[in-house]
Amino acid sequence: MTANTAAGHAGTGHAIHDRIDNIHMQMLDAIERVLAALAPAAPPAAPQPSVVRRQVANTLGLWRFCARSTCHRSRCCRGEPTECLRTALPLLPAETVESLLTTRKDRRRHRRPALRDGRFARSPERTN
């Protein structure tokens, strides 16, 4: 082997190792991004007390007994739920009040139908 040929191979080997190191670093960066995306998200923040009061008032259906016409029309609390809760909670058994405050996970929220292409999704048509 001549001196020129040996020097050419030595430079090529060094370039290959540099390229392998570069690819290795890119792979580590990609793995870190994937792991960051898979990391568990922070737990949701606790709802504000005013939101909890409104949920309890709606669960109890206090809008039915409210003097506000906006509550009757919307069939949910549209005013200050503290006013209605001050009246209604003393009338309920303690177990009922406690279960309302502790089992928020089991409650179903009233939701609008899912949007599809900017329009409300319709239920499938009946076939007779």
The range of the structural domain enclosing residue 98 comes to 49-104
Between 70 and 98, the more confident residue is: 70
Classify residue 86: in a domain, yes or no: yes
Handedness of CA 87, 92, 93, 94 (dihedral sign): negative
**Number of domains into which the chain is organized:** 1
Between 101 and 88, the more confident residue is: 88
Answer whether 58's CB lies under 8 Å from 77's CB: yes
pLDDT digit string, tens, across residues 17-70:
999 999 999 999 999 999 888 877 777 788 888 888 888 888 888 888 888 888
pLDDT of residue 128: 47
Classify residue 55: in a domain, yes or no: yes
pLDDT of residue 43: 79
Classify residue 62: in a domain, yes or no: yes
Classify residue 4: in a domain, yes or no: no
Classify residue 25: in a domain, yes or no: no
Nearest to 54 by CA among 37, 74, 38: 74
pLDDT of residue 90: 87
Q: Which two tokens stand for residue 27?
A: 């792979």
Q: Would you give the distance in Å from CA 5 to the centre of its chain?
A: 63
Classify residue 57: in a domain, yes or no: yes
Between 101 and 80, the more confident residue is: 80
Please, which residues bridge with residue 48 across strands? none
Classify residue 23: in a domain, yes or no: no
Q: Indicate the pTM of the whole model.
A: 0.45
Classify residue 53: in a domain, yes or no: yes
Non-local CB neighbours of 114 within 8 Å, separated by 6+ positions: 120, 121
pLDDT of residue 21: 92
Non-local CB neighbours of 82 within 8 Å, separated by 6+ positions: 53
Confidence of residue 103 (pLDDT cuts 50, 70, 90): low
pLDDT of residue 37: 84
